């Protein structure tokens, strides 16, 4: 865990004003306080002083000390840990119900979403967690006058019971018992169900709309979110520096990307597109931010026009010096408050405007419509080109994975040497791994909070260790470690499952079946046009054979120094029509979880690549494995593997050994040589 | 091919009127002529005299002769073969364009659909074929003032070139180059695109609607179909007897089914459901008809109410004597012309009415809306219970497949004995197989037109032999035979590929890969909740390994003495969210097609069954193979099969041999014993 800055005494606004003035900062004390309110709402991350660059480029030690002091003071005023379960959850629910009454609503939808539909949401958008205590990365609460429910997916079945008070909320599996069914049962006939139009897409609401209409009721867009109305100490919007992402990592100039998106709009007969995914905006303009945890996203909206120009709507205070030059002539920057007016201008010109189905808020769609524009639901025009990494990005990903492989391998060697005494626990493992990663060149952050699950904790799919749940790594148990990093040249995500002491035959059987699934997918060849959904079963088949499965997707897209979860492709049993294309990165992560006993997952990132053309053959694709870390051979049971599967594992281990050994210290190299011996040897 | 009835001389209406009167028929001569106009628009099928039961129960030989004479006379007046390509296609297109002009339309959609969205459409709905010449089972024409296109899927890439004049129509692959893209390119800015609201569903039009709006144009519902307006000799609606389907085959009383559907509507908060799929109506009421080829469907609509009662809208002339008694008190019958009024009544009562997404015509949806009802798009409430066969139906399917296996096996033995002389051709093979099938107990019809493709004709996926394309079965070639039958107790569908003489190593390799896919799917175990889409890749993987694939689905649902293609489940790369459930029948039919050379397909029907429960295991499903016919071992290359695959094939052959031998003549039994020896033996 990174250390908080030392917090010296804050000498007061007058002294700070003087310091600002003498440094030549453009900020006065009021603007600075506004800035710092945003800074404490942004994650601290691994580079907690970066934000000071927004105050002044040349800073005296005295200024830095006082900025840190002000930050500490304002951070101390932040509300307590969101996840904390306590008696005030009942009060919050009661307050919300009173507010609903005031707004003449019979109910309200509280999604775990912000106006960007992102996976990470800033503290001010953590309405679901604030209200219910649930901190998972996906979920929905439905609050009616007499009854409420929280809907979660398979990853959070255990967690929701831990975090949410069952006396206040029903627990529901979002696909097995969807909100629609619950509404049809519990919404009063003719009921008015409120929603915040900034937090939902048109498609996202359609099933709920149908259910509400079936009860003769209607959905009501709220001007003011009723949760915000009763959330007295709601945090500010985050502010973190927005910086250039150099072309040496991005591989393509932003101007070229803008021209490409403009040409696509032209081809589709569209005038403009709303860019409502911050990752798309980051990709399109070759910029990165730090507004949400573990992902270098700058929150904001953009309008991409068919002529290749872009209007960016973003808090001006967060633009690092020099960014406007980097953005160039084709990009205008305005504060977010101007966004609505820009949509109205498109309306007055009767423009056809693409709105991304998966992230475009209903507020945007309705604003366009009422202003006279034609919103055209479609796919974010950046999504596909962003997903298909160029040669520079692929080469960066390979380099990043080599460095990441060194860090994880050093950790695994360290673990083998130290775990025997029974002193290593989950949190210590997280910290040790973090230390190894921080040594890597171009390291910027972790790509998500490490999942470090010993024994039964490994069976909690999206487990996060805390001092309360922290567990020693014990003999005869399995240890599941899912982690990743953000490097300037690439994003990593890897899971390894390690045997502590001697595993049982059942553990080895299950692990080997998971591995067989991993290999079947990793070694697959498939025709162009194939989607990830079509391949999903390959990863599950060896488990299905013995009546087992796992309740999560098999693979997610990964960004290039961007989100560790990105679309539009995925490998999942959930239908997805997006064909895999060369350059796409995707995880390959089958697993098996025995509740109360252990969890197993084997995850590598892979890149889609074209197979060499063969006369008489269709154009085929396959996967290049990017991740370079040994798989625990002590858990492999060669007896249930085919010769091809064993050959795949041995070849992978040989490649890991050859790639990493030159970069390792001698003891780790020795450990690696042993860890990568042929299976069955 | 069944022989047309001898056509004696028709003695005239006066003589017929006298005959009708003396027989005590309820029909006068005008009603009879109306009836026979419908009869000649219905398929002749295998029981061409059944319709006479609609005239009178006790018929003198003289009456039968005169009825046949009248039928022949009226049939002779029917328009010539629809598929014929000729100069009049250009005239028809010109006439349609003139009509569009009259209706102030810039274009018109001509789908291959009738008002039931069925696979088979009666002659009067064959607008696409009449206009363009294209006779495939799916397709769409888009006619604009200056340009027109026909959109087809992968099955019809070759056929469309054969049937449709490329000077009049562009050919387009419906998924690779969808109508939307073509419209965006060719529809004039602000253009009015007409459609017949009886022939499209709301969902079916949505992509086209979006494209039209993108061009600033709009979709216009036509009161009168412009094709009908210029189709002078458009056939009448079909009339064929609607008869009871006894509970000894159906397994469940119709009253019980109606109550069950009513309860589902109640549970979903709905008042009624429009039953717009004739197969659902047949299932729900335990009736069968003969309005379209090869499928015992009675065309009509029904309204199912939450109290379990049903209103049936169907031509009264086609109800066989006794049917109203069979339908019982809970079912009212009205002519189709009353359907609109019934929808209006639901409107005046402000009912919530389920309309099937996949078959409910926009006309129905709009009529409900404008009358004040709430149409709720959803799934046909009969679709799932119809798909999940009950024990009686499953047992009927097994029996039907045993009889069908006898017929196909006798044919294969006959073929082996006769093909050497080079005298057997595709059409002769079809007829010989038909003879064997007709001998089977409870045989009623074929379940589709047999695909009998020798050599390169086998590579045309939905090939139908004709005297023009008929080909001898020659040494060194493959013969692909896809056929099925309708028995009162079940529907069959089987494909076998047979080596004529010695196959090449490439043929054996390809065949074996197709077989490996067939086995991988047939032997799969999978958890409850798995959809067919998830399993599809298992059937393709062995082909993918060598860069090959097939451009069609892997499996379709099959009815119980109903449509050979039924939903809602399927096994396909096209995403489908319907989970496979015990009792569902589905085909397993991977293939491989080398254009200009040969076609390979291996198809069995399988039934989904629950695996025995095992402690610690998820509830799992697997497939029971229903089809019992040997797979040509001369095409099997055991060297590229796993031990498990060989064991599957041998066990299947053993089961075929043991099931069929007691039912076979001695020479066929001898042939079967040889054909089902272990692979590699």
Strand stretches in A226-373, DSSP E? 243-244, 272-275, 287-288, 301-305, 310-313, 331-334, 352-356
| Token code pair at residue A235 | 């945090």
Q: State the Cα–Cα distance between residues A445 and A437, nearest whole angstrom.
A: 9
Show the CA angle centred on residue B522, arms to residues B519 and B525, nearest 5°. Answer: 115
Nearest to B618 among A374, A549, A575 (CB): A549
pLDDT at B6: 58
The predicted model gives A496-505 an average pLDDT of 98
For residue A568, is the peptide bond before it cis, meaning its omega torsion is within 30 degrees of 0?
Answer: yes
- Is there a contact between A450 and A481 (Cβ–Cβ < 8 Å)? yes
Phi/psi class of residue A40: alpha, beta or left (left: φ > 0; alpha: ψ in -120 to 50)? alpha
pLDDT at B1: 36
Query: How far is the CA of B649 from the CAs of A373, B511, B586, in angstroms?
Result: 62, 13, 19
| Token code pair at residue A140 | 């929905």
Contact yes or no for B214 and A269 at CB 8 A? yes
Task: Determine whether A48 is exposed, middle or buried from the number of CB atoms within 10 Å of its CB (0-12, 13-18, 19+).
Answer: middle
As a dihedral over the C-alpha atoms of residue A285, residue A242, residue A280, residue A327, rounded to 10 degrees, the angle is: -10
For residue B680, count other CB atoms closer than 10 A to its CB. 13
Nearest to B533 among A533, A541, A547 (CB): A533
* Residue from A534, A535, A574 to probe the interface with B (highest B Cβ count within 10 Å): A534
The predicted model gives A135-157 an average pLDDT of 92
pLDDT at A15: 96
Q: State the Cα–Cα distance between residues A247 and A489, nearest whole angstrom.
A: 10
Output DSSP code: residue B235.
P
Nearest to B577 among A376, A575, A620 (CB): A575
Q: Which residue carries 């091809």 as its tokens? A: A644
Show the CA angle centred on residue B452, arms to residues B448 and B453, nearest 5°. Answer: 135
pLDDT at B83: 45
Q: For A572, which residue in chain B has the nearest alpha carbon?
A: B534
The complex's ipTM works out to 0.88
Contact yes or no for A573 and B534 at CB 8 A? yes
Q: For A615, which residue in chain B has the nearest alpha carbon?
A: B547
Residue B545 with chain A: CB contacts under 8 Å:
525
Q: What is the DSSP string of A235-249?
A: PPPP---BEE--HHH
| B554: contact with A, CB 8 A cutoff | no
Statement: residue A1 has pLDDT above 50: no
- Is there a contact between A476 and A503 (Cβ–Cβ < 8 Å)? yes
Distance from CA of B580 to the nearest CA of A (A): 13
| B533: contact with A, CB 8 A cutoff | yes
| B373: contact with A, CB 8 A cutoff | no
| Token code pair at residue B298 | 């009675």
Mean pLDDT by 10 residues, chain B (681 residues): 62 96 94 96 94 95 95 81 64 97 97 93 95 92 97 88 94 91 93 97 91 91 96 95 98 98 94 98 98 96 98 96 95 97 97 95 97 94 98 98 98 96 94 98 97 96 89 97 98 98 98 98 97 97 97 96 96 94 98 97 98 94 98 97 97 98 98 93 54
As a dihedral over the C-alpha atoms of residue A577, residue A382, residue A462, residue A446, rounded to 10 degrees, the angle is: 150
| Token code pair at residue B327 | 């339908």
pLDDT at A83: 45
Distance from CA of B383 to the nearest CA of A (A): 20
Task: Determine whether B146 is exposed, middle or buried from the number of CB atoms within 10 Å of its CB (0-12, 13-18, 19+).
Answer: exposed
Distance from CA of A566 to the nearest CA of B (A): 21
Nearest to A536 among B534, B544, B611 (CB): B534
Residue A548 with chain B: CB contacts under 8 Å:
617-618
Residue B268 with chain A: CB contacts under 8 Å:
184, 214
The predicted model gives A61-80 an average pLDDT of 88
| Token code pair at residue B422 | 């080079």
**Reduced to 3 states, what is the DSSP secondary structure of residue A594?**
strand
Instruction: Output the pTM of the full model.
Output: 0.91
The predicted model gives A90-107 an average pLDDT of 97
Nearest to B213 among A374, A525, A575 (CB): A374
Phi/psi class of residue A474: alpha, beta or left (left: φ > 0; alpha: ψ in -120 to 50)? beta
Q: Which helix (H) or strand (E) covers residue B391, if one does? A: helix B391-418
Statement: residue A238 has pLDDT above 60: yes
- Is there a contact between A330 and A337 (Cβ–Cβ < 8 Å)? no
pLDDT at A176: 86
């Amino acid at each position: 865990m990174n250390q908080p800055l030392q917090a010296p005494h804050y000498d007061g606004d007058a002294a700070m004003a003087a310091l600002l003035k003498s440094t030549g900062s453009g900020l006065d004390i009021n603007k600075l306080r506004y800035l710092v309110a945003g800074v404490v709402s942004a994650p601290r991350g691994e580079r907690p002083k970066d934000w000071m660059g927004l105050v002044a480029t040349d800073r005296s030690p005295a200024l830095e000390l006082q900025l840190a002091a002000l930050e500490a003071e304002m951070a101390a005023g932040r509300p307590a840990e969101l996840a904390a379960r306590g008696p005030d959850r009942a009060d919050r629910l009661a307050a919300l119900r009173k507010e609903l009454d005031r707004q003449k609503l019979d109910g309200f939808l509280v999604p775990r979403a912000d106006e960007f539909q992102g996976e990470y949401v800033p503290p001010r958008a953590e309405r679901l967690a604030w209200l219910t205590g649930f901190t998972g990365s996906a979920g929905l609460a439905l609050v009616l006058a007499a009854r409420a429910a929280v809907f979660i997916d398979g990853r959070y079945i255990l967690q929701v019971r831990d975090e949410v008070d069952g006396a206040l909320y029903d627990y529901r599996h979002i696909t097995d018992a969807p909100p629609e069914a619950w509404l049809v049962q519990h919404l009063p006939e003719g009921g008015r169900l409120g929603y915040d139009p900034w937090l939902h897409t048109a498609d996202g609401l359609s099933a709920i709309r149908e259910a509400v209409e079936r009860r003769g009721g209607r959905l009501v867009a709220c001007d003011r979110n009723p949760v915000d109305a009763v959330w007295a100490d709601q945090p500010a919007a985050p502010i973190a520096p927005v910086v250039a992402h150099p072309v040496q990592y991005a591989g393509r100039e932003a101007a070229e990307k803008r021209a490409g998106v403009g040409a696509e709009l032209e081809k589709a007969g569209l005038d403009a597109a709303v860019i409502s995914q911050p990752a798309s905006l980051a990709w399109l303009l070759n910029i990165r931010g730090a507004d949400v945890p573990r992902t270098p996203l700058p929150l904001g909206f953009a309008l991409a026009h068919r002529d290749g120009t872009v209007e960016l709507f973003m808090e001006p205070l967060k633009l690092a010096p020099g960014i406007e030059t980097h953005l160039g002539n084709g990009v205008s920057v305005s504060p977010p408050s101007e966004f609505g007016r820009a949509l109205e201008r498109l309306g007055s010109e009767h423009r056809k405007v693409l709105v991304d189905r998966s992230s475009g808020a209903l507020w945007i769609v309705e604003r366009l419509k009422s202003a006279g524009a034609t919103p055209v639901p479609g796919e974010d025009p950046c999504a596909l080109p962003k997903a298909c990494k160029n040669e520079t990005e692929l080469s960066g990903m390979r380099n990043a994975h080599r460095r990441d492989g060194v860090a994880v391998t050093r950790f695994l060697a360290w673990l083998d040497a130290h775990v025997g005494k029974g002193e290593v626990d989950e949190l210590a493992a997280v910290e040790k791994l973090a230390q190894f990663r921080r040594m890597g060149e171009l390291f910027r952050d972790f790509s998500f909070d490490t999942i470090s699950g010993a024994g039964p904790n490994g069976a909690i799919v999206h487990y996060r260790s805390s001092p309360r749940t922290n567990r020693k790594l014990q003999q005869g148990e399995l240890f599941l470690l899912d982690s990743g990093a953000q490097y300037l040249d690439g994003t990593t995500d890897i899971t390894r499952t390690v045997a502590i002491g001697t595993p049982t035959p059942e553990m080895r059987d299950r692990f080997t079946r998971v591995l067989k699934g991993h290999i079947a997918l990793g070694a697959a060849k498939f025709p162009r046009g194939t989607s990830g959904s079509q391949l999903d079963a390959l990863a599950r088949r060896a488990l299905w054979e013995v009546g087992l499965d796992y309740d999560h997707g098999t693979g997610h897209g990964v960004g290039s120094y961007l989100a560790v979860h990105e679309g539009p492709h995925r490998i999942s049993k959930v239908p997805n029509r997006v064909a895999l294309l060369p350059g796409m990165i995707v995880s390959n992560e089958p697993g098996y979880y025995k509740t109360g006993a252990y969890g197993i997952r084997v995850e590598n990132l892979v890149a889609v690549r074209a197979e060499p053309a063969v006369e008489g053959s269709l154009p085929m694709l396959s996967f290049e494995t990017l991740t370079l870390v040994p798989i625990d051979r002590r858990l492999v049971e060669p007896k249930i593997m085919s010769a091809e599967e064993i050959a795949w594992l041995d070849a992978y281990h040989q490649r890991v050994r050859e790639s990493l050994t030159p970069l390792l210290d001698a003891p780790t190299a020795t450990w690696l040589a042993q860890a990568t011996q042929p299976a069955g040897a």
